[in-house]
Structure 1
Amino acid sequence: MFQIQANELDFGLTPTVLGSGTFGVVHLAKYRGDVVAVKIPKLGFDDFQKEKDILLSLRHRNIVLCQGEVHLPNGQQGIVLEYMAQGTLKDYIEKYNPLTDETKISLSLGIAKGLAFLHGEEIFHRDLSHNNVLIDDVGTAKITDFGKARPISNVLGTSGTIGTYLWMPPEAFNNAYCKASDIFSFGILMWEMETGSTNPGPQNQDGQNVVDVINWRKSGGIPKIREGILSELIKACLKLDPQQRPGAVDIVNYLTTFQMRIR
């Protein structure tokens, strides 16, 4: 990975922090005249090294670009990512709801192309949610946050539940990950774009108990699908049987044809 010197980064921008979570903090900075996002993990965050390794191997228009690695004076390390001016898919839906049909198709197609690339590289994302898709200044959707991603060959035999509950398919709670698990999560993202709701839980109500959400999804619970331009594809992606869900390439082909039809 390309090594960026700490003194090449200017952290004097506003806001200084773009986001934070269990992983650490994402700072806004400037690098060689361009605005960038610098992701700095919490000490001991084991997934960071794995994320760096995977990002190093990925170059695609619908995957957030990693420009390099930086070691800071305080001993911390970080990765320098391209800045996505319109924030997360969640932010975008809440700001522009209701989305036009053209926008729903364009965003869905971008995410699907990113997934098709990942799956072609034999990588599972395993944590696709509205917070892990970012939108750039021209409306291009890009997949980010690869802390839970793994090469498919390394997933077999692992233990523990991985992902964000409301976007996880039923099989993921039994650690039965497959490419179709990411497709289910993608279906939830399309549901959010179609409905304008960023809460795909039981009864679409805020403040659900985590245990209730897990039991609901494990028992095959999915959010109510309303009619819209994406509804048939959403139904296909949210099939409870992973083998009945379409592949990412099939989705790209379907959405590409659909996009040409509505232009």
Structure 2
Amino acid sequence: MAFRREKRNHQPLKLPLPTQTLALEIHHKFLLPSPDSHPLPPSLDSPPGIQALSDLKKLEVIGHGNGGTVYKVQHRWTSEVFALKVLRLGPDAAAGSQQANREADILKQVDSPFVVRCHGVFNGDDGDICFLMELMDRGSLHDVLRARQRLPEKLISYVAWRVLEGLRYLHGLLVVHRDIKPSNLLINDRWEVKIADFGSSRVVERNAHCSSYVGTFAYMSPERFDPDRCEGSYNGFAGDVWALGVVLLECHVGHFPLISVGQRPDWATLMCAICFGDPPEVPDTASPEFGNFVRRCLEKDWTRRATVQDLLNHPFVERSEGWTNDFDE
């Protein structure tokens, strides 16, 4: 269940992206224990004094998604504010609980300044599962694009650096995110960009290939969209790199870059563009460094695609270090 801050109609990019999850898992072997082998943990590392949902007061709704809602909440005794992500399991409660357990298992391992922090997981009313998260009160990169349409390269470089550092950390834990997109890159009041939403994520064995069809179609790499092209298996980490390349090119051109503006982004159109179309063109307005960076991300052959470490050493990203950014500039 990929939680999204944006509505299903992706208005600023003219792209109502489909986000349904298709459970086509093939021969996965995860390092995490089966979600059926233990109950949902009541908390991860809850702030002092937060023992139950009753310790929190809902202030406002800050996001909606497929099967869930995010609230801004306040601790009743300390006045500290958080985000509370509430997942409603719906009619297929067993599958929803299994997915939420997988997400909770991943969040228990994660502690990075480049990933949105989870403070605890609670069982809510009517079987809801609630994630108490760090509040990212500047919204998402999707919100920034909706307001500004395009971003300068200096800011894109900063976004690239932060996301790559987050991916380096996650991949070091053998976590494949599988749903990198603007609405899953959140921004706090210090203008820090962090990776969020692990509803589509998996833990894999080192150097293992995996097959899956989970996430947001428009940001899937060719080998994820059409696993037959690589005989049904691939390195999942390479798919996160492809998705980042699409996001950064989107930040530069101001619209979803893999199809023409106004073109209907249905499954067949996306399939043809991602799997069989020419690689997207980088505009002449882009610097040579940015153009090369994006092309290395969007290499259709995943075996030739740049790795996260390759990209962290790229000249385009190195320019971002030490820069104090402001998305309102």
Q: What TM-score, normalized by structure 1, do the two folds share? A: 0.88
2:233 is aligned, of 144, 158, 176, to: 176
Q: Does the CA contact (< 8 Å) of 1:180 and 1:242 recur in 2?
A: yes
Residue 55 in structure 1 maps to residue 99 in structure 2: no
Partner residue in 2 for 1:2: 45
Letter in 2 for 1:208: P
SS in structure 1 opposite 2:85? Answer: strand
Is structure 2 residue 98 aligned with structure 1 residue 40? no
Q: Does 1:244 align with 2:304?
A: yes
Higher relative contact order (CA 8 A, sep 6+): 2
What is the deviation of 1:123?
1.2
- The 1:167–1:110 alpha-carbon spacing in structure 2 relative to 1, beyond 3 Å, is same
Matched, 1:185 2:243: yes
Give the 3 Å change call, closer, same or farther, for CA 190–62 of structure 1 in structure 2.
Answer: same
Contact 1:220–1:240 under 8 Å retained in 2: no
Aligned partners of 1:182 and 1:80: how far apart in 2? 25
2:319 counterpart (254, 258, 261):
258
Q: Report what 1:18 is aligned to.
A: 62
2:309 and 2:136 map into 1 onto residues whose CA distance is 25
Shift of 1:210: 2.3
96-105 or 141-150, larger mean C-alpha shift: 96-105
Identity of aligned residues (%): 25
Q: Which runs of 5+ in 1 are unaligned?
A: none
1:84-136: CA deviation from partner (whole Å, max 9, x where unpaired): 11211111122234323321111111011101111111111111111111111
Task: Give CA-to-partner distance per residue, 1:141-198, whole Å, 9 cap, x none.
Answer: 111110111112299686651121111111002153421111000101110122122x
Question: Bigger radius of gyration, 1 or 2?
Answer: 2
The structure where helix makes up a greater share of residues is 1
Tell me: CA distance 1:205–1:39, structure 2 relative to 1, closer, same or farther (3 Å): same
CA deviation vs aligned residue, 1:18-56 (integer Å, no higher than 9, x gap): 222224111121134222111111212242111111011
Counterparts of 2:158 and 2:265, CA distance in 1: 31
Q: Does 1:88 align with 2:140?
A: yes
- Residues 167, 188 of structure 1: 8 Å contact kept: yes
Aligned amino acid, residue 82 of structure 1: E
Judge conservation of contact 1:170–1:240 (CA < 8 Å) in 2. Answer: yes
Please show how residues 41-190 of structure 1 align to structure 2 within 5 Å: 41-43=87-89, 44=93, 45=96, 46-153=98-205, 160-173=212-225, 174=227, 176-178=233-235, 179-190=237-248
Structure 1 residue corresponding to 2:275, chosen from 190, 214, 218: 218
Amino acid at match of 1:237: C
**CA shift at 1:207, angstroms?**
3.4
Aligned 8 A contact 1:202 1:221 in 2: no
Taking the aligned partners of 2:169 and 2:244, their CA distance within structure 1 comes to 14
1:227-251 Cα offsets, whole Å, 9 max, x none, are: 3142210011000111222111221
Q: Does 1:235 align with 2:287?
A: no
Report if the CA contact (8 A) 1:166-1:200 is conserved. no
Tell me the number of residue pairs that the alignment of Structure 1 and Structure 2 aligns.
259
| Alpha-carbon distance change, 240 to 157 in structure 1, aligned in 2, over 3 angstroms | closer
Counterpart residue type for residue 9 of structure 1: L
> Residue 259 of structure 2 corresponds to which residue in structure 1?
202
Judged with a 3 Å threshold, the aligned counterparts in structure 2 of structure 1 residues 103 and 210 are, in CA distance, closer, same or farther, namely same
RMSD, matched Cα:
2.5
CA distance in 1, matches of 2:257, 2:144: 16
TM-score normalised by L of structure 2: 0.72
Q: Secondary structure at the match of 1:2?
A: coil
Specify every segment of 5 or more residues in structure 2 that has no aligned partner in the other structure, as ranges: 1-43, 325-329
